[in-house]
C-alpha cells in the first residue's frame, strides 16, 4: 500500500506539471494573451466619450484606431459628420494581459461616436457672382440657377450651361461655360471633315478655288437670323463647401435673387448738351436722388461739365447676360446732319440751311445686348428704299466767352423765375438771381466785354450793364459804388463795383442778370 501511494503522488505531480505547461503554452498561442514587460502601466483600458471601447497594450495605437473609426463614420455618408471624440485611458501593470483586436476597438469607437454626433454638414456648393454669394445643395441646383439666368433670353432652349474647372486658379474652383448644342454638333462635323480634306490634293484644290472665286454678296435670305451667341457678363465662381441646413438657400429663392433686377450704382459720364434734369430722366432717377448720390453736386442748379462722372443707379440683375442677335428690320432713318462752318460765328450760333426728310431702308444687323438694354449694333446689309435728305446747318467755330459768378461767397436768397414780391414795388417774376452779401463786397465782371451803362438805374439803384462779344449782356444791381464808366472795356474777374442796398431792395445784396436778345434768362444755365 505504501508503494502504490507513493506512485500515485508522483503521477499527480506529473499531471499538475503537464497542466501548467499546457496553460503556459496556450497562453503563448492565444492571439489576445500577451506577456507584458514590467515597466509601469503596461495595459490600458480605452474609453471614448466615457464609453469603454477596448483594452490595448500600446496607448499610441489608440490614435490610429480613432483615425480609422472617423474614416469609417464619415465614409458612410456624402455629408460631413462632426462628433465628439474625447479619448481617456486607465492604465495597469500586469505580467500577463488580454488585449482586444484593433477591428473590435474601431467598431466600438464608431458606435461610441454615433451616439455623440454634434451635427451633420451637407456637401454643398457656394456660388459667387461679384459681391453676391448664395449656397446651394448640389451641382444640379447650381446648373438650374445658371440655366434660369439665360432662359428668358433663349426662347428655343438652344444654349446650355456647364461647370468647368477654372484653369487660371490654383484651387479647385469651377466656372461656367455656355455652349450651343447646334454649334457643338457642327464643330464636331467640321473637325471630322477637316481631317479628311486637309491632306493631299483636296487641300490644294480648296486653296486654289479660294484664290479664284471672290465671295459673293449675301442676299437677305442668306442670313441666319436669331440668337447668335450668349454668355454671362459677370464672372461666376463655384466652390465646394460643407454647410448646415440653415445655411442653404432654396433654389426658387436663389433664382429670384439672381435673375430679378436690382438697383445697382454705375458711373455716368456727362456728354455735350447734358443737364442734371436730362440725366435724371434718362436714368429714371428723381432729380433730388441724383443730387443726394453725388457729393460734388450741391443743388439742382449746380453746373456740370462734359467729362464729369456722376453716380447713377440702374436696374440690373445680379448675374448679367450678354448676347448677340441677328435681326432683319425695315425702318425710316435720318441722314447725318451736314455742318457748314462759319469762322465769324461763335459755336453757340447756328442757322438751319436745309430741313431734313426721312428715308427708308431694309437692314440686317447684329444687335449687342447686356440684359434687356441694347449696347450697340453692327449693320451687315443695308438696302435703301429711298434716300433721306440731310439737315444742313451753318455753325460757328469760335469759342464763346465764359461767365463766372460775379462775387465770391454770398448766400443765394432768390432764384430766377416766379416768386412772392419781397417788398412793395418789387416784381413777382424775378429776372435774375440774388446773393446776400455785406455792403462793400467786390463785384466782378462775369465775362470780358464793354460797359454799356454805369450809374443810377431806378429800381436797380446803382447798376452796371456790360455787353459781351457773343451778343449777351450782364447786369449788376443794387450797388453802393460804381467803379467803371460807359464805353470802358473790362476783363473777366475785373472789379467793377461794390455791393450795396440801393434801389428797391430788402437788404444788402447783389442782383445779377444774363440777357439774350434783350430778354432775361436763368443765369445758372450759363455760369461756369
Stronger pLDDT, 310 or 426, i.e. the higher one:
310
Q: Average pLDDT in the 483-506 region?
A: 95
CB of 444 within 8 A of CB of 437? no
Residue position matching grid coordinates 426721312: 358
Q: Residue 283's pLDDT band (boundaries 50, 70, 90)? A: confident
CB of 404 within 8 A of CB of 527? yes
CB of 94 within 8 A of CB of 133? no
Q: What pTM was estimated for this model as a whole? A: 0.51
Q: Residue 419's pLDDT band (boundaries 50, 70, 90)? A: confident
Q: Residue 11: its pLDDT value, please?
A: 52
Question: Residue 238: is its pLDDT beyond 90?
Answer: yes
Q: Residue 30's pLDDT band (boundaries 50, 70, 90)? A: very low
Query: Which secondary-structure segment (H or E) carries 142?
Result: helix 139-151
User: Mind giving me the DSSP string for 71-89?
Assistant: HHHHHT-SSEEEE---EEE
Q: Residue 194: its pLDDT value, please?
A: 64
Q: Average pLDDT in the 391-418 region?
A: 92
* CA–CA dist 105, 56 (Å, integer): 9
* CA–CA dist 17, 231 (Å, integer): 91
Measured over the CA atoms of residue 233, residue 234, residue 235 and residue 238, the dihedral's sign is negative
Q: Average pLDDT in the 220-238 region?
A: 92
pLDDT (tens digit per residue) in 133-156: 999 999 999 999 999 999 989 988
For residue 253, what are the contacts with CB-CB under 8 A and spacing of at least 6?
none
What CA dihedral angle connects 76, 81, 83 and 88, to 10 degrees?
Answer: 50
| Pairing mode of beta strands 338-346, 392-398 | parallel
Q: Residue 2: its pLDDT value, please?
A: 42
Q: Residue 421: its pLDDT value, please?
A: 67
Q: Whose CA is closest to 525, among 194, 276, 335?
A: 276
- The DSSP letter of residue 276 is H
Q: Residue 323: its pLDDT value, please?
A: 96
The angle at the Cα of 276, spanning 493 to 131, to the nearest 5 degrees, equals 120
Residues in the chain: 528
User: Count of H helices and E strands in the chain?
Assistant: 9, 32
Tell me the three state secondary structure of residue 353.
strand
Q: Average pLDDT in the 469-480 region?
A: 94
Stronger pLDDT, 297 or 480, i.e. the higher one:
480
CB of 100 within 8 A of CB of 54? yes
pLDDT (tens digit per residue) in 368-384: 999 988 999 999 999 99
* CA–CA dist 120, 82 (Å, integer): 6
What CA dihedral angle connects 52, 57, 59 and 64, to 10 degrees?
Answer: -80
Q: Could you tell me the three cell numbers for 91?
A: 492604465
Q: Residue 35: its pLDDT value, please?
A: 54
pLDDT (tens digit per residue) in 152-190: 899 888 999 999 988 777 778 999 999 887 777 777 777
pLDDT (tens digit per residue) in 242-272: 888 889 999 999 999 999 987 778 889 998 8
Question: Residue 403: is its pLDDT beyond 90?
Answer: yes
Q: Say if residue 368 is exposed, middle or buried (CB neighbours under 10 Å; 0-12, 13-18, 19+).
A: middle
Residue position matching grid coordinates 449746380: 302
CB of 508 within 8 A of CB of 438? yes
Q: Residue 119's pLDDT band (boundaries 50, 70, 90)? A: low
pLDDT (tens digit per residue) in 433-458: 999 999 999 999 999 999 999 999 88
Amino acid at each position: 500500500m505504501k508503494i502504490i501511494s507513493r506512485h500515485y503522488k508522483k503521477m499527480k505531480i506529473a499531471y499538475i506539471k503537464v497542466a501548467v505547461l499546457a496553460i503556459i503554452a496556450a497562453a503563448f498561442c492565444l492571439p489576445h494573451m500577451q506577456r507584458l514587460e514590467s515597466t509601469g502601466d503596461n495595459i490600458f483600458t480605452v474609453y471614448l466619450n466615457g464609453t469603454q471601447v477596448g483594452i490595448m497594450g500600446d496607448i499610441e495605437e489608440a490614435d490610429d484606431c480613432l483615425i480609422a473609426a472617423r474614416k469609417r463614420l464619415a465614409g458612410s455618408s456624402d455629408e460631413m459628420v462632426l462628433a465628439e471624440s474625447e479619448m481617456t485611458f486607465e492604465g495597469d501593470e500586469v505580467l500577463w494581459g488580454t488585449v482586444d483586436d484593433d477591428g473590435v476597438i474601431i467598431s466600438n469607437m464608431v458606435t461610441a461616436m454615433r451616439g455623440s454626433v454634434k451635427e451633420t454638414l451637407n456637401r454643398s456648393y457656394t456660388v459667387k457672382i461679384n459681391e453676391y454669394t448664395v449656397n446651394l445643395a448640389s451641382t444640379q441646383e447650381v446648373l438650374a440657377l445658371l440655366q434660369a439666368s439665360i432662359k428668358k433670353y433663349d426662347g428655343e432652349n438652344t444654349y446650355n450651361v456647364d461647370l468647368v474647372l477654372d484653369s487660371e486658379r490654383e484651387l479647385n474652383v469651377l466656372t461656367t461655360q455656355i455652349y450651343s448644342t447646334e454649334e457643338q454638333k457642327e464643330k464636331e462635323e467640321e473637325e471630322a471633315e477637316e481631317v479628311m480634306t486637309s491632306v493631299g490634293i483636296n487641300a490644294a484644290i480648296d486653296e486654289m478655288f479660294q484664290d479664284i472665286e471672290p465671295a459673293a454678296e449675301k442676299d437677305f435670305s442668306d442670313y441666319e437670323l436669331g440668337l447668335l451667341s450668349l454668355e454671362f457678363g459677370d464672372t461666376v465662381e463655384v466652390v465646394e463647401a460643407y454647410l448646415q441646413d440653415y445655411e442653404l438657400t432654396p433654389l426658387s429663392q436663389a433664382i429670384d435673387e439672381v435673375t430679378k433686377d436690382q438697383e445697382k450704382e454705375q458711373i455716368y459720364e456727362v456728354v455735350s448738351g447734358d443737364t442734371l434734369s436730362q440725366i435724371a430722366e434718362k436714368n429714371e432717377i428723381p432729380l433730388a436722388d441724383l443730387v443726394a448720390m453725388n457729393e460734388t453736386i450741391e443743388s439742382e442748379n449746380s453746373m456740370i461739365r462734359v467729362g464729369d462722372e456722376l453716380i447713377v443707379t440702374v436696374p440690373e440683375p445680379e448675374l448679367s447676360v450678354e448676347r448677340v442677335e441677328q435681326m432683319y428690320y425695315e425702318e425710316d432713318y435720318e441722314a447725318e446732319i451736314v455742318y457748314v462752318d462759319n469762322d465769324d460765328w461763335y459755336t453757340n450760333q447756328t442757322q438751319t440751311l436745309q430741313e431734313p426728310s426721312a428715308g427708308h431702308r431694309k437692314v440686317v444687323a447684329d444687335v449687342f445686348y447686356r440684359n434687356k438694354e441694347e449696347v450697340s449694333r453692327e449693320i451687315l446689309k443695308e438696302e435703301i428704299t429711298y434716300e433721306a435728305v440731310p439737315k444742313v446747318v451753318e455753325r460757328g467755330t469760335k469759342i464763346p466767352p465764359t461767365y463766372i459768378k460775379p462775387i465770391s461767397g454770398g448766400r443765394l436768397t432768390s432764384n430766377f423765375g416766379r416768386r412772392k414780391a419781397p417788398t412793395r414795388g418789387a416784381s413777382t417774376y424775378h429776372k435774375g438771381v440774388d446773393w446776400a452779401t455785406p455792403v462793400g463786397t467786390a463785384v466782378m465782371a462775369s465775362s470780358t466785354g464793354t460797359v454799356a451803362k454805369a450809374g443810377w438805374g431806378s429800381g436797380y439803384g446803382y447798376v452796371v450793364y456790360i455787353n459781351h462779344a457773343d451778343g449777351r449782356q450782364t447786369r449788376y444791381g443794387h450797388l453802393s459804388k460804381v467803379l467803371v464808366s460807359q464805353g470802358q472795356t473790362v476783363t473777366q474777374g475785373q472789379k467793377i463795383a461794390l455791393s450795396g442796398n440801393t434801389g428797391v431792395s430788402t437788404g444788402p445784396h447783389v442782383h445779377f442778370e444774363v440777357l439774350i436778345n434783350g430778354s432775361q434768362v436763368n443765369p445758372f444755365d450759363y455760369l461756369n
